């Protein structure tokens, strides 16, 4: 897809994770934000990072991702809201600057696996610091189609908590996305392209967009709605 459609696809999403405003506020509360350095690894456009800086203006905030389109959206939002946030185009898994606070939500894949992510992030967050870690888990027994979509390394929730402990973390807070958060996330992930398709049905790109939208909705309702969960862990070590 071209840059125009890539930017449009997520344009109706607040953040690229199933998360309500109230749930986001709760997680930021649990992170006990003040001064120090906060890094968001795999930040996308960094909306939660921007919210953190609005709460704690003394934070030094950095978002790291390889998605140039998302980073540009983040920079534009930071400038519009007068927030001092640095967005860096880089491999988040290579970040090696110790920080007091970190976010890593839905980005375990950049480290290779959930266990590798939790181990790698333990080298990033200073002792006594906090990590907001978000990751998928099986909330029900998956069928082969769901495993094919999300991979065989996806854990159950007990396995995820055990993996955090094995990497040296202690759980300060645990919560999971509810069904409304998931439905809103999936709907908004399709909305930008669905609106474009309705306005441009004869565009040469329309058929590819239509196929993606139909496949995404079909996979969600058939293969992983109510099967894949998303856990948010506030961790310390």
Q: pTM for the whole thing?
A: 0.95
- At 7 the pLDDT is 84
Per residue in 171-226, pLDDT (tens digit) is 999 999 999 999 999 999 999 999 999 999 999 999 999 999 999 999 999 999 99
The answer to whether residue 203 is domain-embedded is no
Partners of residue 236 on adjacent β-strands: 130, 170
Q: What percent of the chain has pLDDT over 70?
A: 100
Partners of residue 25 on adjacent β-strands: none
- At 4 the pLDDT is 83
- The per-residue pLDDT of the chain, averaged, comes to 96
Helix (H) or strand (E) holding 21: helix 21-30
Number of domains in the chain: 1
Average pLDDT over residues 152-181: 98
The answer to whether residue 167 is domain-embedded is yes
Residue 35 sits in which domain range? 15-178+229-236
The answer to whether residue 4 is domain-embedded is no
The CATH number for 66's domain is: 3.40.50.150
Per residue in 107-155, pLDDT (tens digit) is 999 999 999 999 999 999 999 999 999 999 999 999 999 999 999 999 9
Q: Of 102, 163, 96, 159, which Cα lies nearest the Cα of 128?
A: 102
pLDDT at 3 exceeding the cut of 90: no
Share of the chain residues as helix, strand and coil, in percent rounded to the nearest 5: 45, 25, 30
The answer to whether residue 76 is domain-embedded is yes
The answer to whether residue 3 is domain-embedded is no
Per residue in 20-34, pLDDT (tens digit) is 999 999 999 999 999
Q: Which conformational region is residue 42 in: left (phi greater than 0), alpha (psi within -120 to 50 degrees), or beta? A: left
- At 6 the pLDDT is 85
Residue 73 phi/psi, 5-degree rounding, is -60, -45
């Amino acid at each position: 897809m071209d840059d125009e459609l890539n930017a449009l696809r997520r344009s109706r999403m607040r953040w690229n994770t199933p998360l309500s405003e109230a749930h986001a506020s709760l997680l930021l509360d649990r992170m006990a934000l003040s001064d120090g350095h906060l890094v968001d690894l795999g930040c996308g456009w960094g909306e939660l990072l921007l919210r953190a800086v609005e709460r704690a203006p003394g934070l030094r905030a950095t978002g790291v991702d390889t998605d140039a389109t998302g980073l540009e959206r983040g920079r534009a939002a930071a400038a519009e809201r007068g927030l001092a946030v640095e967005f860096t185009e880089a491999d988040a898994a290579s970040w090696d600057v110790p920080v007091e606070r970190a976010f890593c939500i839905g980005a375990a894949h950049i480290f290779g696996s959930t266990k590798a992510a939790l181990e790698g992030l333990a080298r990033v967050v200073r002792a006594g610091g906090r990590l907001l870690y978000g990751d998928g888990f099986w909330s029900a027994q998956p069928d082969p189609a769901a495993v094919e979509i999300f991979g065989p390394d996806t854990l159950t929730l007990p396995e995820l908590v055990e993996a955090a402990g094995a990497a040296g973390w202690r759980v300060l807070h645990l919560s999971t996305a509810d069904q409304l958060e998931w439905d809103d996330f999936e709907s908004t992930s399709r909305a930008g392209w669905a609106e474009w398709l309705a306005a441009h049905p004869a565009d040469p790109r329309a058929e590819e967009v239509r196929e993606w939208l139909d496949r995404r909705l079909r996979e969600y309702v058939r293969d992983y709605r109510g099967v894949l969960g998303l856990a948010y862990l506030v961790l310390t070590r």
